[in-house]
Chains A and B, each alone.
Chain A
Amino acid sequence: MSAPQLNIDHIAKLARLELSAEEKATFSQQLGDVLHHIEQLSQVDVTGVEPMAHATPVFNVWQDDVARPGLAVEQALRNAPAQRDNMIVVPKVVE
C-alpha cells in the first residue's frame, strides 16, 4: 500500500455525486489526510487471517418462500417524488 492516489473526478463519478470545484479541492485534501492515516494498516501482519464480514455467528438464513402481505401500492408510492397511474415518473431514459 504505497502513497494512495485519489482521483477525485473518477471516484465522484463512481459514487454518482456531482461535486463543485470547491468540494473537489476540500475533499481531495481531507481524504488525502485520512488515507495517509489509513496507510498504517499495511503494517499489520494478516498472513493466514480470515476476513470478518460481521460479528454474528449466523450464516445462510433461509425462509420459506411464502407470500406475505406487503405495502399497498398507495403506501409504497407515498414518498415518490413524482407518480402517475400507480407508477413512478422519471426523466426519459430512451429516445
Chain B
Amino acid sequence: MAAELFHRSIADLATELAAGTLSSVELTQAVIARTKAVEPRVQAFNSFDEADALAQAAAADARRAAGETRGALDGIPIGLKDVIAVEGQPLTASSKMLANFVSPYDATATVRLKKAGAVLWGRLNCDEFAMGSSNENSAFGPVANPWDLARVPGGSSGGSAAALAAGEAIATFGSDTGGSIRQPAALCGVVGLKPSYGLVSRYGLVAYASSLDQIGPMARTVEDAAILLGAVAGHDERDSTSLPKSVPDYRAELAARRGPWTLGIPKEYFGEGLDPEIGAAVERAIAFYRAQGCTIREVSLPHTRYCLDTYYIIATAEASSNLGRFDGVRYGHRSKAATDAVDLYFKSRAEGFGAEVKRRIMLGTYVLSSGYYDAFYLRAQKVRTLIRQDFLNAYQGVDALITPTSPIPAFKRGEKSDPLTMYLCDIYTIGVNLAGLPAISVPAGFTNSGLPIGVQLIGQPLEEANLLAIAHAYDRAHEWSSQHPGL
C-alpha cells in the first residue's frame, strides 16, 4: 500500500506533480489536514497560516499549468524553524522576547526556497533562541516526540524534526549550532544535515553563536536532503562568512559517486555514556559499508574530551554579545515596570528571556569579562584550532567519519533538569560545529522499545557531495524512513 501523501518523499511527490497526477493544492491540503489532526498532541508549530500556504500551492499549480515549473521543490510544503525570517510572518525564536515580532524581510534561505517554488508552511517550535537539546526551553511549550509523546523530540530544532516525523510537512529546515539539526533528527527518525560553515547564508537567521550557526535541511531521505541543500546553498554577499564558491548539483552527484569509500571510526566517540543499543546500530551500519567494499579504519580525535567545554565558552560568549541587541528599545519585549532608560534594559531582558537563555548570557558575559577573557575565551579559541586540526589529521586518506549522533535515544520530558547533564547530549555533534565541518544524521533503526536511532557521518570541509553520496548508499539500502510513528 502506498504511503499517505504526507509521509512521502520530495523526490516521489515531485514525480507525481510533474506527471500531473497530483496537484500542489491537493498535497498542501493533505499536509494541512494531517497537521490539524495530530498537532494537538505533537505541538511542533508555533503558528501556521493555512490561507497563505494554499495560495502558494495554487500559484505553484498555475506555474506548472503554464509550463513554467521551477523544479523538484515547486509546490512542496516545507516548514521552517521559527528562527528563519519570512517576510510578513511571525519570527519568535520561541521566546517571549519576540512573541509579537513580525519579520520585515526574508532570510536568504527563504528567498531561495521561494524562488524554487516551495510552499512555506508554518513556523516551527524550537528551544528559545535555539538554546537546548530537548525543546523544553520554548516559551510556547514543549514539543512531543511523535514516536512516544511523553518523550522529547530533541533540540533545538525539535519542532522541525517532530513535524516531519509526524507528517505535518514534507521537509523542514532547522539551524545547527552544536547539533541542533542532527540530534533531533536522530531522536525523531529523520535525516538531518548540518552543512559546512559558510555554505548556507546566515542572513535572516536569528543569531545564537555566529561562528557556529548554520541553516540546514531535515528530510525523509538523503536524496531529499540533497535536493533541499542544493536550493539554499551558495554564496550570498549579505553574509560576510559566506563562501564565494560555486556549488555542485548535489542530487546529480548522488548517482555519480558510488564509492567504495574509506570511512574512519573515531575511537573517542564510542566510550563511556554511549547507549549499547545505539552502539550496536552504528556497528551494523559500519558492517554494511564494509560489506559494500568500503575500507574501515580507526582514527583518533585526541581533543574530543575538550569539545564540550570549548563549545560552551565560545557559544555562550557569542550569544551574550548577539543577544545584547534585545534591550526593549527598538523591537521585542519592553517592560512596563521600568523606571528609567537603564532600568528598561534590566527589566525588559529579565521579563523577556527564559532561564536557559539567561544562564548562557551569564556564562558568556563571565568568560568575556575583564580578567577572565584570556583564561577562558582566548584559550577556548586556541583549543578550537586543535580540535579542527584533529579532524584534518583524521581525514588523511579518509572520506568521512562514522559515529553515533546522540549518545542516548529520546528521553522523557522533565528527566534532565540539570544543565550540565543536558549539555552532554551534544558530545558527538559539537566538534563538527567547532571545526566548521558538514555532517549528517541518518536513521539507523530503532531501539527495542521502538525509539529511533541515528548514525552520524562527518565529511571533509565542503565535501557535501561526497558526504551525501556515502549517506545515500546506506539510506536507500535500508529505507528506515518508510516506517512511521503510530499517531
Contacts and interface: CB of A to CB of B under 8 A. Distances in A.
Report whether chain A binds chain B: yes
A55 B363 contact: no
Contacts of A23: 355, 358
Given A55-B461, A81-B331, A90-B344, A11 B198 contact: no
B385 A44 contact: no
Interface in B338-384: 338-341, 343-347, 349-350, 353, 355, 358-359, 361-363, 365-366, 369, 372, 375-376, 378-384
Nearest to B345: A16
Contacts of A6: 366
A78 interface: yes
Contacts of B383: 41, 44, 46, 49
Interface in A1-42: 1, 4, 6, 8, 10-12, 14-19, 23, 26-27, 30-31, 33-35, 37-38, 40-42
B366 A92 contact: no
A86 interface: no
B328 A81 contact: yes
Contacts of B122: none
B381 A34 contact: no
15 contacts: A1-B379, A11-B369, A17-B349, A17-B362, A18-B349, A31-B362, A34-B420, A44-B306, A44-B379, A44-B386, A51-B381, A54-B197, A54-B210, A78-B104, A90-B344
The 10 closest A-B pairs by CB, nearest first: A55-B436, A51-B381, A81-B334, A54-B211, A79-B331, A56-B198, A18-B350, A46-B382, A18-B346, A15-B365
Given A16-B324, A49-B382, 17 more contacts: A8-B362, A16-B346, A17-B361, A30-B420, A34-B423, A35-B366, A37-B308, A37-B309, A37-B420, A38-B309, A40-B305, A41-B380, A42-B375, A49-B383, A53-B381, A61-B240, A91-B339
Interface of B: 100-102, 104-105, 196-198, 210-212, 237, 240-244, 303, 305-306, 308-310, 312-313, 320, 324, 327-334, 338-341, 343-347, 349-350, 353, 355, 358-359, 361-363, 365-366, 369, 372, 375-376, 378-386, 388, 418-420, 423, 434-437, 461
